């Protein structure tokens, strides 16, 4: 049996080949994870959620493809835009199906343009109370979502003051001055109910 001189032996032994394959696999996995983080950051930058309260944000119209980027940041997504307002708008059923795929809870509380129904504010208050995690509200521009939150927050037993609610809506880039009367009445009503 002849042995090759040391300089003629193959440089890549089975052990080294195995280590190189592990190294390249790890690099590939890390690169892929980095790419996904980059895409998620791009989506978050584009949808630009704005804070209303400690665990409640608001944004504009979402699409099913956006939900993958939100799965690490939110527990619940709330759609306040009625289905079929405009052509091409994703339906609540499409959004719910994708949210489920991403491990997100999804709630649909349609709020029409104009006057915000008390029932919608009450339903949102219930959803927020049972959320157990951060919540993202959305509608076409974020306006109805922020305003519905304002009415829900005003009726919450330990909610913010009326001025703090209006300020939170304004900081989120929306207006609620015309709701001031409804907000103040709801805040006063919760004080009467509290023993």
pLDDT, one tens digit for every residue, the chain (195 residues): 555 455 545 666 777 767 667 766 767 666 655 555 655 667 677 788 999 999 999 999 999 999 999 998 999 999 999 999 999 899 999 999 999 999 999 999 999 988 999 999 999 999 999 999 999 999 999 999 999 999 999 999 999 999 999 999 999 999 998 999 999 999 999 866 555
The CATH T-level fold of domain 49-193 is 3.90.190
- Could you list the beta-strand ranges (E) of 63-167: 76-79, 105-108, 135-138
Locate the domains of the chain by residue range.
Answer: 14-47, 49-193
CA nearest neighbour of 81 among 140, 136, 143, 122: 140
Cβ 96 vs Cβ 64: under 8 Å: no
pTM above 0.85, yes or no: no
């Amino acid at each position: 049996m002849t042995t090759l001189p040391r300089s003629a032996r193959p440089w890549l032994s089975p052990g080294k080949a195995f280590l190189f394959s592990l190294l390249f696999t790890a690099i590939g996995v890390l690169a892929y994870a980095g790419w996904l983080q980059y895409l998620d950051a791009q989506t978050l930058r584009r949808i630009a959620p704005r804070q209303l309260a400690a665990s409640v944000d608001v944004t504009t119209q979402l699409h099913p493809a956006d939900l993958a980027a939100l799965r690490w940041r939110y527990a619940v997504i709330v759609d306040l835009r009625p289905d079929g307002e405009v052509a091409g708008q994703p339906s609540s059923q499409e959004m719910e199906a994708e949210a489920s795929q991403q491990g997100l809870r999804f709630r649909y509380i349609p709020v029409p343009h104009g006057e915000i129904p008390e029932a919608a504010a009450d339903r949102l208050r219930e959803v927020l109370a049972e959320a157990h995690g951060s919540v993202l509200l959305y509608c076409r521009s974020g306006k109805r979502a922020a305003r519905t939150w304002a009415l829900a927050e005003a009726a919450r037993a330990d909610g913010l003051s009326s001025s703090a609610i209006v300020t939170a809506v304004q900081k989120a880039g929306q207006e609620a001055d015309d709701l001031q009367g409804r907000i103040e009445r709801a805040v006063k009503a919760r004080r009467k109910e509290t023993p």
